[in-house]
Amino acid sequence: MSELLNRRLALLSDRNNLSLLEQCLHGIERECLRVTGQARLAQTPHPEALGAALTHEQITTDYSESLLEFITPALANPADTLASLDKIHRFAYSKLGNEYLWSPSMPCPLPAEEDIPIAYYGTSNIGQLKYVYRKGLALRYGKTMQCIAGIHYNFSLPEKLWPLLKQDEGFVGTDRDYQSSAYIALIRNFRRYSWLLMYLFGASPALDAGFLRGRSHQLEQWDADTLYLPYATSLRMSDLGYQSNAQAGLTPCYNDLDSYIDSLRKAVATPYAPYVEIGTRKDGEWIQLNTNILQIENEYYSNIRPKRVTYSGERPIQALMARGIQYVEVRCLDINPFLPMGIDLQQSRFIDAFVLFCALQDSPQLTDNECGNATSNFLSVVKEGRRPDLELQRNGQPIDLKFWATELLEKIAPIVQLLDASNGSDEHAKSLATQQAKVNNSALTPSAQVLASMTEHKEGFTAFSFRQSQAHAEHFRSEPLSTDDQSTFETLARNSIAQQSELEQTEETVDFDTFVGAYQASILAISN
């Protein structure tokens, strides 16, 4: 173990500091498609009984009107975060009628591209902005791609921890500068090691054949309607999940916050010829927000993002520039179709330990060569992570995946011990043992279990996924929320509708064109 990691662990295990680890915050965003009883995309509007997607803090939509997104508050105990997510699911099921929540990440059989409904957020300027942004995504990447769902795991280390580490390491600069540089260092390590998460938690080895819309591919045929790769862990995170020529040249540098912000700022302000050719309007209607590489910062697809809570009307880049990094958003997690919420506490415990390891471990700058290796290791694991004797690249040398995975888990072990010591349990140790078992035996990984279940039931991707969706629906419906909890959610839904209505009636002092112009100008105004 490195000297720096040892020193940081010693500092955290000090009696006065141990309780700090209980103050990490955890938030989860879970996306899922609404589907019909025939396992087809629900083309109904976002259920009004769930509230207004624009203004509801916990229940919204992502890309499509059919793609729900459930958002928990950020809480200190991951068990509470998951309890919160559980309640959102139960409330949603009380309002879904005869619809279901689709159990995996890869979508159900989809209608024709033009029949996939884009999420609609009403007539307010901000509502229209969200809608036009999604029209731009449809234009740039196609609607099919936008129907993939995932789990985003938000994690922050305690604010009180940073000054402690900063002082110990003699960092010259403000607390905020240290905190941001430490989060960027975490992200660099995440890029180095996130292939491990794909091996352990990837759960999308198969998909509906119609998803590819006739494009050429290297997948194998499972049956007439299902494509798969025998050793894949996460086709969702493979290159067939997301293709973007415009973003290909955009590799934000994770050397420091300024260079990261600068690369995104440039992408949001730099025209991209094919988009310029299309223009921003067609027949007088807006079809994309601008003709730049990115319409807005969030269009950049990455496995992990540095984040800061934004103020009303503030852009993500502005918030990061003004106040630094507050937390990270892990974006590469598949939905586990065997779990009612797509994630459970055991997985959450391991992710905490893994992200903390990335934060506390030495994190030198990424060389060009290392950046390339990180990307190719990740792609190897999502496409063939369970292949026996698969080798990855480390420091220009081949290394056996299982050997490296075991080595990483051994390095994470002291962090697991600290976390368990801080909350007086052995839950993190149990989770670590479960992950080691998956490394020893790939049949225990979710991706292998998906294919095993399909084999056992002699079924394809859709039948398997819908069977799981029905089981989860039964799980949530069989135990409704308490009267008090149900009433709380009903109130949130009503209030969000009132809030959207108020926005639409009161805010329109400027027309939409002017509003978009001001929104664009806000990014251009940010200088280096």
For 301-343, the pLDDT digits (tens) are 899 999 999 998 789 999 999 999 999 999 999 999 999 999 9
Helices (H) and strands (E) in the chain, counts: 18, 14
- Residue 524 pLDDT > 80, yes or no? no
Which element (helix H / strand E) includes 511?
A: none
Q: Are 120 and 45 in contact (CB under 8 A)?
A: yes
Residue 75 is classified by DSSP as B
For 109, the enclosing helix (H) or strand (E) is none
pLDDT surpasses 50 at 354: yes
Asked whether residue 95 carries a pLDDT value surpassing 50, the answer given is: yes
Residue 426: the pLDDT is 97
- List Cα–Cα distances, 287 to 273, 295, 470, 505, 519, in angstroms: 16, 11, 37, 25, 16
Report, as an integer, the average pLDDT of 429-443: 98
pLDDT band at 528 (very low <50, low <70, confident <90, very high): very low
pLDDT for the residue 501: 95
Give how far the C-alpha of residue 99 lies from the chain's centroid of Cα atoms, to the nearest Å.
Answer: 24
- Cα separation, 401 vs 442, in Å, equals 11
Task: Please give the pLDDT value at position 241.
Answer: 56
pLDDT digits (tens, 9 = 90+) for 462-490: 999 999 999 999 999 999 999 999 999 99
Confidence of residue 243 (pLDDT cuts 50, 70, 90): low
pLDDT at residue 369 in the model: 86
Instruction: Give the residue among 501, 498, 499, 504 at the shortest CA–CA distance from 124.
Output: 504
The whole-number pLDDT of residue 506 equals 84
Check: CB of residue 461 under 8 Å from CB of residue 207. Answer: yes
**Dihedral (Cα; 294, 298, 302, 305), 10-degree rounding:** 140
Which helix (H) or strand (E) covers residue 119, if one does?
none
In the prediction, which pLDDT does 244 show? 64
pLDDT above 70 covers what percent of the chain? 97
List, for residues 108-158, the tens digit of each pLDDT value: 999 999 999 999 999 999 999 999 999 999 999 999 999 999 999 999 999
Residues counted in the chain: 528
What's the pTM? 0.97
pLDDT given for residue 527 in this prediction: 46
Enter the DSSP assignment of 387: S
Lookup result for tokens 């009903």: 490
38 C-beta neighbours (distance < 10 Å), count: 8
Residue 522, pLDDT score: 82
For the stretch 288-306, what's the b/e string if a residue is b when 16 or more beta carbons lie within 10 angstroms of its beta carbon? bbbbbbbbbbebbebbbbb
- Angle, to 10 degrees, between the axis of helix 316-323 and the axis of helix 257-269? 150
Between 102-111, 197-206, 257-266, 281-290, the lowest mean confidence (pLDDT) is in: 257-266
Residue 523: is its pLDDT beyond 80?
A: no
According to DSSP, the β-strands at 220-223 and 397-400 are unpaired
Q: What does the pLDDT average to over 184-190? A: 97
Chain-wide mean pLDDT for the chain? 94
Nearest to 297 by CA among 330, 327, 321, 326: 321
Q: What was the pLDDT predicted at 132? A: 98
Closest CA to 196 of 441, 409, 440: 409
Rounded mean pLDDT of 506-522?
86
| Residue 8 and residue 186 in contact, taking contact as beta carbons nearer than 8 Å | no
DSSP state of 86: H
Domains of the chain (ranges; CATH) run 3-524 (3.30.590.20)
| Residue 279 structure tokens | 């223009």
How many Å apart are CA 2 and CA 10, to the nearest integer?
12
CA atoms within 13 A on the CB side of 43: 11
Across 26-35, 45-54, 408-417, 510-519, least confident range: 510-519
Q: What SS3 string covers 39-56?
A: CCECCCCCCHHHCCCCCC
Give the 3-state secondary structure of 131-159: HHHHHHHHHHHCCHHHHCCCEEEEEECCC
Best CA proximity match to 175, nearest among 155, 154, 157, 161: 161
Residue 234's DSSP bridge partners are: 204
Strand partners, 30: 70, 151
Per the CB < 8 A criterion, the answer to whether 21 and 12 are in contact is yes
Question: Would you give the distance in Å from CA 11 to the centre of its chain?
Answer: 31
pLDDT value of position 142:
93
The whole-number pLDDT of residue 339 equals: 98
Per DSSP, what are the bridge partners of residue 31?
69
Highest mean pLDDT among 146-160, 227-241, 497-511: 146-160
Q: Which residue type sits at 466?
A: F
Sheet holding 206-208, edge to edge: 206-208, 226-228, 220-223
Strand (E) or helix (H) holding 34 = strand 25-35
Angle at 202 between CA 28 and CA 255, to 5 degrees: 70
